[in-house]
Homo-oligomer: A and B are copies of this chain.
Amino acid sequence: MRSKTDLLQGTLDLLILKTLALGPLHGWGIAQRLQQISDAVLQVNQGSLYPALHRLEQQGLLSASWGSSDNNRQAKFYALTTAGRRQLDAETAHWTRMSTAIARVLEAT
């Protein structure tokens, strides 16, 4: 009984892009920040996170560079590219469109 999914499918890219718009961050940090901002509602597991990051990087939306984290560990820092910023805008618009439409349906009587 699968049923309970930790995220709304299709929103992970958006969440990652948005998080990185606030400043470069490493994968683990992204997951942490999302969890924190969302009061633990949004849980990103590694099996989703890392593939997503690689995907986005491969699409040219993110750039990556190794560095050292706050805890003095090797970490791969991701940053938005210009294309990434554009993509963020597009996906934000799409999300707004969609969620508004759904809200309208849910309010119908």
Q: A residues near B, CB below 8 A?
A: 5, 7-11, 14-15, 18-19, 22, 34, 37-39, 41-42, 92, 95, 97-106, 108-109
Contact = CB atoms under 8 A, between A and B. Distances in A.
Contacts of A34: 105
A19 B18 CA distance: 32
Q: Which 7 A-B pairs have the closest CB atoms?
A: A9-B9, A41-B101, A38-B101, A9-B10, A8-B98, A42-B101, A99-B99
A105 B8 contact: no
A108 B9 contact: no
A68 to B, nearest CB: 25
25 contacts: A5-B10, A7-B98, A8-B8, A8-B10, A8-B99, A8-B102, A9-B10, A14-B106, A15-B102, A15-B105, A18-B105, A18-B106, A18-B108, A34-B105, A37-B108, A38-B102, A38-B104, A38-B105, A39-B101, A41-B98, A41-B100, A42-B98, A42-B102, A42-B105, A92-B106
